Amino acid sequence: MKTRLNILILIIILTATGCSKQEPSNRTVLPIKGAVEFYHADGTEMVRQFDLYHVEPGNMFEMSYQWETRALNPVTESLHILVHFVDQAGRTVWQDDHRPIPGVNTWKPEQKIQYRRVVHLPEKLPERIYEVKIGFYDPDMPDMKYFLANTVENVRKKTIARVRVAAMMKVRHKNGWLTQSPVEPWRWAGQESSITVTNVKFNTFLHLQGFTTGNCFPEPPLLNLVLNRNKTEVIPFENDRFDRWIVISSGIIGTDGLLDIDFKMNGVFVPVDCGINADTRELSAAIYPPELTTYRYREGFYPPESEGLDSWRWMGSQGTIEVINPGCPARLAMELWTSFDRLDTTPNITLLINNKNLTRFTVSHDDPTMMIDLNELIMGDNETFTLTIKTDTTFTAGNADSRQLGLMVKSIRIIPLGS
């Protein structure tokens, strides 16, 4: 089901070195032409709307590169390829710069080179329209300019696609919610409230979190939850907080892709009457926006970390992830990384599903993403399956951090491939 964005991109021509006396010494045009095709990880064809391709934050897809060298002198520089997502203000918001394998300096005249890379968009990538631009650069010679040539103008970065990044699933607060503070992610509810989530297409985890002020209730607070008027959950509070993961099956969601969540607390309180502040509203619980995901981290993982748009979880020598069983053949996609400069050897990784060996491999510094196709026999008959990751090499984080670190998991996706 490889999603082809069917962009046979304008032929990119990068012209040759030092052929014109008019070219400055730091300008190079390479004897290479190329094209790029896009595929979604699930393989479904993407429909272009108003000259835009649509992807979701956190989505994985593949970019397939095809390069062809001309019958001229080979390129001797060890060039990297830049892949930039550029917003409408001209800012590079995210990138997938990489060194192609085999390296550009090994390409021979009149040779065709093809390879694919899995691209993982960050969950926090702002929802807007981006131009995807590519080009070449030498990390050891940042002042050298490698230009892309066409019949109109020479440019260093060629636009190969326009992409709208927007989430398909939308959360809509309906009845019973109080005005939300612009600086707080949660929202206070009255005694009864409801939320609708749209475009829920597959089996998924529903992750709900919230809190209240328990000593203002005459009895221990309880949250009654009803999903699509079908599945009922009773959620107690522990230390005034709750954190609940619920498996949502396709039978609960239905064919319309809607998930209605009805909340009912066993009481309310008024902050001013409870001596908290001057707020006279009747409150029950503050609830964070629901999250829908296909996996949850379990044993062996350290707390989440982030920097900018990127987020990740470190594990030690072994970590366990609970994954939603889609009930049909699926593709497991993972982006793994480690601190290679801190290790004496390349780590060997073992994957197990439901405690049975699945595969062994080594983590690549140049391409950290792997994909494995799974069938129903491997995943089993339960609503979820257990994915265990093992590494044979760890290191001490250092700088007063005594953690033993093995692998960084940057992303994981289970992508249904249909029955």
We report the CATH number of the domain holding residue 37 as 2.70.50.30
In this structure, is residue 178 part of a structural domain? yes
Number of domains composing the chain: 3
Query: What backbone phi and psi angles, to 5 degrees, belong to 105?
Result: -70, -5
| Cα 163 from Cα 305, distance rounded (Å) | 28
Domain boundary among 103, 133, 165: 165
pLDDT of residue 122: 87
Structural domain ending residue among the three candidates 165, 189, 206? 165
268 and 367 in a single domain? The answer is: no
The reply to whether 79 falls in a domain is yes
Calpha distance 227→249 (Å, rounded): 11
- The answer to whether 418 and 328 have CB atoms below 8 angstroms apart is yes
Same domain for 359 and 243: no
**What does the pLDDT read at residue 235?**
95
Q: What's the one-letter identity of residue 154? A: N
Place of tokens 């993407």: 46
**Burial environment of residue 220 by CB neighbours within 10 A (0 to 12, 13 to 18, 19 or more):** exposed
pLDDT tens for each residue of 106-152: 888 888 888 888 888 888 888 899 999 988 888 888 888 787 655 34
Q: Which residues pair with 21 in a beta bridge?
A: none
d(CA 154, CA 15): 10
pLDDT of residue 41: 73
Residue 378 tokens read as: 């491997």
| Cα gap 17→30, rounded to integer Å | 6
Residue 7 inside a domain? The answer is no
CATH number at residue 404: 2.60.120.260
> Does residue 4 fall inside a structural domain?
no
Q: Is residue 2 part of a domain?
A: no
Cα Rg of the chain, angstroms: 26
- 145-149 vs 27-29, strand pairing mode: parallel
Q: In this structure, are 100 and 120 located in the same domain?
A: yes
Q: Is residue 6 part of a domain?
A: no
Report pLDDT for 319.
Answer: 97
Q: Are residues 34 and 150 in the same domain?
A: yes
Residue finishing a domain among 122, 140, 165? 165
Question: And the tokens for 219?
Answer: 């009895």
Domain match, 260 and 403 both: no
Nearest to 42 by CA among 15, 96, 11, 4: 4
Is residue 201 domain-shared with residue 305, that is, in the same domain? no
Quick one: 179 and 274 in the same domain? yes
Q: What share of the chain is helix, strand, coil (3-state, %, to 5)?
A: 5, 50, 45
Q: Are residues 157 and 30 in the same domain?
A: yes
What's the start-to-end Cα distance of the chain, in Å? 11
Domain around 365? 295-416
Same domain, 299 and 369: yes
Q: What is the pLDDT of residue 124?
A: 85
The pTM is what? 0.80
16 and 161 both lie in a single domain: yes
Q: What is the pLDDT along the chain (419 residues), one digit of tens a residue?
A: 444 444 333 333 343 333 333 444 566 666 677 777 777 776 666 666 667 778 888 888 888 888 888 767 667 778 899 999 999 999 999 999 998 888 888 888 888 888 888 888 888 888 899 999 988 888 888 888 787 655 345 567 788 888 888 888 888 999 999 987 888 899 999 999 999 998 887 788 999 999 999 999 989 999 999 999 888 999 999 999 999 999 988 778 877 888 999 999 999 999 999 999 999 999 999 999 999 999 999 999 999 999 988 899 999 999 999 999 998 999 999 989 998 888 888 889 999 999 999 999 988 776 678 889 999 999 999 999 999 999 999 999 888 999 999 999 998 988 888 65
Q: Is residue 185 part of a domain?
A: yes
State whether 139 and 192 are in the same domain: no
The closest of 146, 28, 33, 26 to 82, measured between CA atoms, is: 146
- 192: nearest Cα among 283, 290, 258, 281: 283
Does 316 fall in a domain? Answer: yes
Separation CA 300–CA 215 (nearest Å): 35
Can you name the residues that pair with 335 across neighbouring β-strands? 369, 411
Phi, psi of 290 (to 5 degrees): -65, 145
Of 196, 201, 175, the residue nearest 289 (C-alpha): 196
Q: In this structure, are 140 and 208 located in the same domain? A: no
